[in-house]
Amino acid sequence: MESYIVFGLVLLVVVIGATLALVAPRFRKPPTLPPAQKPTVAPPAEKVPPPPAKKTVPPPVKPAPPPVVEAPPPVVPTPTVEAPPVVEAPPVETPEPTAGRLVRLRARLSRSQNVFGKGLLALLSRDKLDDDTWDEIEETLIGADVGVAATTEIVGKLRERARVHGTATASELRGMLTDELVAALQPEMDRTLAATRRAGRPSVLLIVGVNGAGKTTTCGKIARVLIADGHTVLMGAADTFRAAAAEQLTTWGSRVGAEVVRGPEGADPASVAFDAVKRGIDAGVDTVLIDTAGRLQNKVGLMDELGKVKRVVEKHGPVDETLLILDATTGQNGLEQARVFTEVVDVTGVVLTKLDGTAKGGIVIAVQRKLGIPVKLVGLGEGPDDLAPFDARQFVDALVGTDA
């Protein structure tokens, strides 16, 4: 019974609470609101025409890419090799015969003739040959590089013959002078060149001399002399120290068809000389000419090198001829050059160059008397065939002349 009472009381409380909740809002004071504002009316907006509609441009249609075709391998052009220009060999020349060259070239000695011929003959043709005249004759001969000893001997014989003959004509005096000059040149000396093959090998000629004497040019001219006399010649360019010496010798050889053996610039001269002689033996030539470097006689080392060239060449056989090239214009200085070279390589013959147009022709007499070495060739000009075998009689005749 009591539970029903409690339930009734709870229900009553719930009803009373719900009723209060519904009635209480009606008794509340409403809130005060601010006065209402009138709405602002905006003016009517101007009508803006709508933008024109953009034309729709369809996107460009990309063409389809071309099909990929593999390129053929590149064609490499064959290089065109141009043939080297054909260099025509110079025509082979025929050298002038050597016989009588001194006679043909006597005009080259015209200046020497003024000393030996006209000068001396004018003195000898005086009405009275007194001591003063003979002193002038001596001075003239010494000035022509005849040498003091040779001059004293020549003048002494002329004085004796003039005294014996008494008054002589100009023609007789010329004859006397010619005889004494020829005798002073020792015509009995052997002046032939050893240029003939022997024992199955070529003859070897060693060409020596100082710089400036015209050694390489003279070597080429000697080749022309030998070829003109019927010899076959090969040349060795052992002057490896002077630039263009080998080229110069090759030019001389090509003009007469003579082979030239050469080495690189600065090569050992002895090795080039050795190869040249070996090539000459294989080729069967008559003569091998070896052009050596120009040497200063006061340079001991260089002279030793020249001796080495001679020793190396002699491994093939003896050197048959050693020719010393002397410049005739050096006069008495050439005698000292000749003496030193003779001590080193045993000079067998002298070649005097630049004898044309000089009043120093007496150097021929001085060289032979001082050294006992024959002058075998003389150079009387710049032409290729202006080198002549020396003949004492022809040389004196060219010096003295034939006119009274």
Alpha-carbon distance values, 175 to 14, 143, 179, 182 (Å): 193, 22, 6, 11
Instruction: Give the confidence band of 312 by pLDDT, cuts at 50, 70, 90.
Output: very high
Higher pLDDT, 167 or 195: 195
Predicted local distance difference test score (pLDDT) of residue 152:
93
Query: Residue 192 in contact with residue 377, Cβ under 8 Å?
Result: no
H or E segment to which residue 340 belongs: helix 333-345
60-69, 84-93, 134-143, 378-387 — which is least confidently predicted? 60-69
Higher pLDDT, 230 or 58: 230
Predicted local distance difference test score (pLDDT) of residue 298:
52
Per-residue pLDDT reduced to its tens digit, 45-103: 555 555 555 555 555 555 556 555 565 666 656 656 566 565 565 678 888 888 878 77
Mean pLDDT of 113-131: 74
Using the predicted structure, report yes or no on whether residue 290 has a pLDDT greater than 90: yes
Model-level pTM? 0.73
Per-residue pLDDT reduced to its tens digit, 12-37: 877 787 777 665 656 555 555 555 55
Contacts of 232 (CB under 8 A, 6+ apart): 284, 285, 286, 287
